[in-house]
Amino acid sequence: MENKQKSIEGSSGPWYGAEPEIPESAPMETVNTEILIIGGGTGGMTAAIFAGRMGAKTLVIEKNATVGYYKTYNGVIDSRAQREAGVKGKIDKEDLVQELLHYPAQYDDVDRRLIENANPVDEKLIRLWVEESGVAIDILADELSEYGIRHVAETDVGDGHHGKFKIFPTHTKFIVPLLKGGPKGHVHGGVGVIEPWLVKKAKSFGVEFRFNTPLVKFVKRNNKVIGAIARKKNGDYIRIEASRGVLLCTGGYSDDHELFAKLNPQAAAVTSLYYGQKGNTGDGLKAAIWAGGEKARYGTAGLFDRGMVKPGGKAGPPFRRLGPTLGPLDAFHMGSQPFLKVNMDGKRFLNEAVPYDVIIYPLQYEKNHVCNVIWDSKYWKNIESFRLVGCCRQIPSPTKPRTYEGIGKTINRVLLARGAMTGYIQKADTIEGLARKLRLPVAQFKATVDRYNKMAKAGVDEDFGKPAKDLIALDNPPFYGVTNAGWMMHTTDGLRINEDMQVLDKEGGVIGGLYATGDVAGGFFGTNYYPELIVGVASGKTITFARHAVLHMMRGTDTVPAGSWGF
């Protein structure tokens, strides 16, 4: 036991450090509110709207100068938009619960050995999302409809499968119009952006915001969290007491890569690229631990298989950070398509027709923790026949209105050209030429492609069982390839919470007054992130739990009379 603690904490003390002392002489403003929301991202902005519409005096403190990136793709079940689009009935709730339950796996903290059959998720939380996500999003959609924002459902599930994996139509989206006279910043790069509308809505209920005001620590009285201390831009402190409760929505720790490598070593090993919420450095997680909270013992991170690496390069820290200009466009978006994938020995190592969350972690067993994605000049036809959905979709959805356009043919072509220009994507007229450019052993790579082509013609993958539909010969030069690894977006191994989103201590007891939702809360996903094919479940559960936490804080009021809030 002692050894285990040591390996997690390292020689310089625990990863979460010590709670900061604030000198008595430090300038301190004091504020009182009913609900304090810490972090104005997906969870925080949702909670702000729910708290405001229920009449609670609410304050949001946010570390950055603006609210965080709000996910408009939300995974929910049985929402009005889905019923109207005919999705109801297509989702078997019990199937969905079981899918989320069998996904997780748990690793031993010391030697990363997989602990067989260890299930680290809390089934109660999964069922809560399944039961309450529809109503949560419907209410949000009603509130946002006055701005012309529409909540729509995706009905296209491609072939209904990704290889052997079943797809669940949980995918919905808020479509934000381009409106004249909207709040500042609601149009960005020619598209409608939701965040300024959320702020406008919350403010319409009287919710107050303090930007550039990061949480420092919680204030406790009689073992209960009664508020928090934050730091203002000028360096002074602010002490906020919240009579109904504090909701922690500070996200994970994806923006602290040292901490990420420490707590999520298996994910860090296969990551080459980072693009996530600026400022998510685990502040809320640490503060809750100082206040007695308990974090999940295993690491979980959201990784896409789209982190290009230069030929001969490796995955692992330090990660390339995507710049603000092209942002997520500057990644390899075809990474999740089931093209031929080979390791640095020029050999296949898995069935490529599996979801990205399944394909990325096996890279830890391959040289340099990367693979090479190979395609030829008929790649767009291949993408059309792969028919991937959700955030792997590249061809426009037939659903109207469109929930996700995918990158699309033209933008994809531009991105490929850019990838080639910047030295990532390689092109050659022969397989041998491509092998040399990707620094693969020529003879072995040629043999792999020949065998792959032979199996493709026969329609049977004798080596890895890839479905015939996705087994397409590489016979149309020029040939292309890129070395690829993970793009890390966020972490989800957060605090232990109960089914009312209350933060729990080491003994499983409730820490009064303290709630958590989103990535700072754990217990929902296993070590390998969330299933790609349950599209939007991370943001969908964040929104659902934000509402639930606020309802719990508001029990006994006119909006949530005692005994009536149990849904």
Ligand X SMILES: Cc1cc2nc3c(=O)[nH]c(=O)nc-3n(C[C@H](O)[C@H](O)[C@H](O)COP(=O)(O)OP(=O)(O)OC[C@H]3O[C@@H](n4cnc5c(N)ncnc54)[C@H](O)[C@@H]3O)c2cc1C
Task: Please say whether the dihedral angle defined by the alpha carbons of residues 102, 44, 286 and 304, taken in this order, is positive or negative.
Answer: positive
User: Given the rule CB under 6 A, which of 7-15, 61-69, 263-271, 357-365 is the region that contacts ligand X?
Assistant: 61-69
Instruction: Please report, as a single letter, which amino acid is at residue 512.
Output: G
**Contact pick of 34, 36, 37, 43 for ligand X (by CB under 6 A):** 43
Contact between 217 and ligand X by CB under 6 A: the answer reads: no
Contact between 214 and ligand X by CB under 6 A: the answer reads: yes
Comparison of 43 and 196: residue with beta carbon closer to ligand X: 43
Q: Is residue 514 exposed (0-12), middle (13-18) or buried (19+ Cβ within 10 Å)?
A: buried
**Contact pick of 249, 388, 474, 511 for ligand X (by CB under 6 A):** 249
Comparison of 118 and 391: residue with beta carbon closer to ligand X: 391
Contact between 295 and ligand X by CB under 6 A: the answer reads: no
Whole-angstrom CA distances from 130 to 146, 169, 292, 403, 544 are 27, 13, 29, 21, 9
Here the tokens at position 157 are 């599930």
Contact between 542 and ligand X by CB under 6 A: the answer reads: yes
Query: Cβ neighbours of residue 105 under 8 Å, at least 6 residues apart?
Result: 114, 115, 118, 526, 527, 528
Contact between 489 and ligand X by CB under 6 A: the answer reads: yes
Comparison of 285 and 435: residue with beta carbon closer to ligand X: 285
Comparison of 176 and 471: residue with beta carbon closer to ligand X: 176
Q: Determine the Cα–Cα distance for residues 411 and 397; give it in Å rounded to an integer.
A: 16
Contact between 518 and ligand X by CB under 6 A: the answer reads: yes
**Contact pick of 268, 434, 456, 537 for ligand X (by CB under 6 A):** 537
**Contact pick of 280, 448, 484, 527 for ligand X (by CB under 6 A):** 280
Whether cis (ω within 30° of 0) applies to the bond prior to 14 is no
Whether cis (ω within 30° of 0) applies to the bond prior to 324 is no
Contact between 63 and ligand X by CB under 6 A: the answer reads: yes
Comparison of 1 and 65: residue with beta carbon closer to ligand X: 65
Comparison of 61 and 389: residue with beta carbon closer to ligand X: 61
Give the shortest CB-422-to-ligand X separation in angstroms: 20
Instruction: Please report, as a single letter, which amino acid is at residue 161.
Output: H
CB 536 within 8 A of CB 74: yes
**Contact pick of 78, 283, 305, 330 for ligand X (by CB under 6 A):** 283
Contact between 419 and ligand X by CB under 6 A: the answer reads: no
Whole-angstrom CA distances from 268 to 364, 447, 565 are 10, 32, 42
523 sits in which H/E element: none
Contact between 173 and ligand X by CB under 6 A: the answer reads: no
User: Given the rule CB under 6 A, which of 71-79, 259-267, 432-440, 507-515 is the region that contacts ligand X?
Assistant: 71-79
Strands 320-321 and 106-107: unpaired
Comparison of 40 and 292: residue with beta carbon closer to ligand X: 40
Comparison of 306 and 466: residue with beta carbon closer to ligand X: 306
**Contact pick of 172, 448, 539, 544 for ligand X (by CB under 6 A):** 539
**Contact pick of 101, 391, 442, 447 for ligand X (by CB under 6 A):** 391
3-state secondary structure of 330: helix
Q: Determine the Cα–Cα distance for residues 132 and 381; give it in Å rounded to an integer.
A: 40
CB 512 within 8 A of CB 225: yes
User: Given the rule CB under 6 A, which of 157-165, 262-270, 336-344, 534-542 is the region that contacts ligand X?
Assistant: 534-542
Give the shortest CB-274-to-ligand X separation in angstroms: 9
Contact between 250 and ligand X by CB under 6 A: the answer reads: yes
Give the shortest CB-70-to-ligand X separation in angstroms: 7
| CA 343-492-129 angle, 5° bins | 115
Residues 73-92 that bind ligand X (CB under 6 A): 73, 75
Give CA 47 to chain center in angstroms: 18
Task: Name the DSSP letter for residue 460.
Answer: -
Contact between 307 and ligand X by CB under 6 A: the answer reads: no
**Contact pick of 38, 354, 435, 485 for ligand X (by CB under 6 A):** 38
Contact between 293 and ligand X by CB under 6 A: the answer reads: no
Tell me how many residues contact ligand X (CB under 6 A). 41
Q: Determine the Cα–Cα distance for residues 335 and 88; give it in Å rounded to an integer.
A: 31
Q: Determine the Cα–Cα distance for residues 136 and 511; give it in Å rounded to an integer.
A: 25
Residues in contact with ligand X, shown as a per-residue x/- string from 108 to 147 under the rule CB under 6 A? ----------------------------------------
Residues 314-373 that bind ligand X (CB under 6 A): 328
3-state secondary structure of 219: strand
Give the shortest CB-264-to-ligand X separation in angstroms: 15
Give the shortest CB-88-to-ligand X separation in angstroms: 21
Q: Return the HEC string of 124-158.
A: HHHHHHHHHHHHHHHHHHHHHHCCCCEEEECCCCC
CB 68 within 8 A of CB 277: yes
Cβ atoms < 10 Å from Cβ of 404: 21
Contact between 71 and ligand X by CB under 6 A: the answer reads: yes
Give the shortest CB-98-to-ligand X separation in angstroms: 19
Give the shortest CB-102-to-ligand X separation in angstroms: 19
Comparison of 303 and 354: residue with beta carbon closer to ligand X: 303
Query: Cβ neighbours of residue 392 under 8 Å, at least 6 residues apart?
Result: 162, 336, 337, 355, 356, 532
Contact between 544 and ligand X by CB under 6 A: the answer reads: no
Comparison of 235 and 566: residue with beta carbon closer to ligand X: 235
Strands 208-210 and 237-248: unpaired
Q: Name the site residues for ligand X (rule: CB under 6 A).
A: 38-44, 61-64, 67-68, 71, 73, 75, 214-215, 249-251, 275-277, 279-280, 283-284, 302, 328, 391, 489-490, 518-520, 536-539, 542
